[in-house]
Amino acid sequence: MSNFVQKWLERLVKPLVISHHKRSGAVLFSDTTLRDGEQMPGATLEPEEKVQIALALEAAGIHSIDAGFAASSENDIKAMQMMVGKVKGPVLTSLCRTLRGDIDAADRALDGQPNHKRGVSLFCGTSPLHRRDKLQKSKEEILDLIVETVGYAADKFTVVAFSPEDASRTEVDYLCECYTKAIEAGATTVGFPDTVGILTPEKARVFIRQIQDNVPNIDKALLAVHYHNDLGLAVANTLASIEEGANVVQCTVNGIGERSGNASLEEVVMALTLHQDQFNRTHKIDTTKLAPLCRMVAELTGIRLSPQKPIGGSNIFATEAGIHQDGLLKNPDTYLPFRPETVGESGIKLVLGRHSGKRAVEHRLKEIGFAATDEEVATVLNGIKELPKGEVVDDERLKAFLTAE
């Protein structure tokens, strides 16, 4: 097929794909663990490790992967080149400034990937602060820059995203003008980044509504959101935007990223999954892949999870409290919002400690092969209650209590 015919076909198919996504009501997950996540101090990943995470994201059903920033580092180019042809499901994108050189670098890094599975994600500051102090450019100059570079990117790429950096602090009428021009110039996705993480769910909702109401050609592009967690609201803002009609949500595994991080992928997915009645939106993420994915990213980045981190933390399915242990043994649903298997965990962990009761002790003894009498269970429990602060009871200690009488 000649280049010309291929281009012509792509132009024909593109709007159909976009309108299909928009009408289907599906929430498309974009993951930026490998780009914004890796920007977190100390989270550096080797190219091989990035490929490993990209493949796990693919297996989890991610729609697109922000694979790196080609113009910024040789390692990012290397990682992207290694993903080409190997990561087949998700669209791989490279971050770009509104510079031709960045788009060319992305083009080289993603060379060999099928056209509909590769893209660029352009960004340019649009807020008064960015215009005046960072870019020293007028509103008009920035609009021209957007039109010029989005157009340039659209000649090379089928998938072109444009995001006004610091969108949440940009005048809304100017913001809508930027989106309108970007879509006219060929953007297939427009992003709404809350770059410094200052929004609340209500304010995010108003922005998403206003963009949809005031960008006349918004039906020609997907609307994506990218939230930071500086106020601990990234997940809440993402969910509010989904409810308001955003098509794409960009997250990171474990919520890693700049400063307080980004919206956590696993939390957004689980909230969406458990509240189908509220959101009425489908998604393609396999929730049973989430907990193993969280562990993999924690291990490879070296950014450890706090024990109480939702979904992936080590305490999520562990309990030491007697009443909870008793309830969980009768029916796990009594004290859990969802079963461990839902997110790919093996089961509930009953931790034996000062707060435990006899049911849990009896249960664990039986599991390790001891059918203890009530009296023996009481003896073991007394031993546990007298343990020094912070000490936990492993199976060896349990057996020692039992045989010590």
What is the binding site for Mn ion (CB under 5 A)?
Answer: 36
CB of 194 to Mn ion, least distance (A): 9
Nearer to Mn ion, 36 or 243 (CB): 36
Nearer to Mn ion, 237 or 319 (CB): 237
87: which residues sit within 8 A by CB, 6+ positions away?
51, 54, 55, 58, 65
**Chain centroid to CA 276:** 19
d(CA 171, CA 108): 35
Instruction: Concatenate the DSSP letters of all residues of 107-132 into one string.
Output: HHHTTTS-GGGEEEEEEEE-SHHIII
Nearer to Mn ion, 36 or 267 (CB): 36
CB of 36 to Mn ion, least distance (A): 4
**Chain centroid to CA 98:** 25
CB of 337 to Mn ion, least distance (A): 29
CB of 191 to Mn ion, least distance (A): 10
Nearer to Mn ion, 31 or 376 (CB): 31
CB of 258 to Mn ion, least distance (A): 6
C-alpha distances in angstroms, 302 versus 40, 44, 55, 156, 186? 11, 9, 19, 36, 39
Nearer to Mn ion, 185 or 251 (CB): 251
* 68 Rama sector, left if φ>0, alpha if ψ -120 to 50, beta otherwise: left
Which residue of the chain is nearest Mn ion when measured via CB? 36
End-to-end CA distance of the chain: give it in Å, rounded.
Answer: 84
C-alpha distances in angstroms, 16 versus 45, 65, 163, 242, 289? 37, 22, 22, 22, 31
**Chain centroid to CA 278:** 21
Nearer to Mn ion, 255 or 353 (CB): 255
CB of 39 to Mn ion, least distance (A): 8
